[in-house]
Amino acid sequence: MSKETLEFIQEKAKELIAAPSCSAEAKEAAQAWLAAVGTDKQAEETKKFIAEMEEDIIPIDGLIAFAESDAGAKVFGGAEKAKGVAEHGKEIKAAGAKYCDCPACAAVEAILSKKDELLA
Note the pLDDT tens digit of each residue in 40-77. Answer: 999 999 999 999 999 999 999 999 999 999 999 999 99
Read off the pLDDT band of 1 (50, 70, 90).
Answer: confident
Give residue 120's pLDDT.
86
End-to-end alpha carbon distance in the chain: 7
Mean pLDDT confidence for 110-118: 95
Note the pLDDT tens digit of each residue in 84-108. Answer: 999 999 999 999 999 999 999 999 9
Across-strand partners of 59? 99
Q: How far is CA 79 from the centre of its chain?
A: 24
Per-domain residue ranges for the chain?
Answer: 1-58+102-120, 59-100
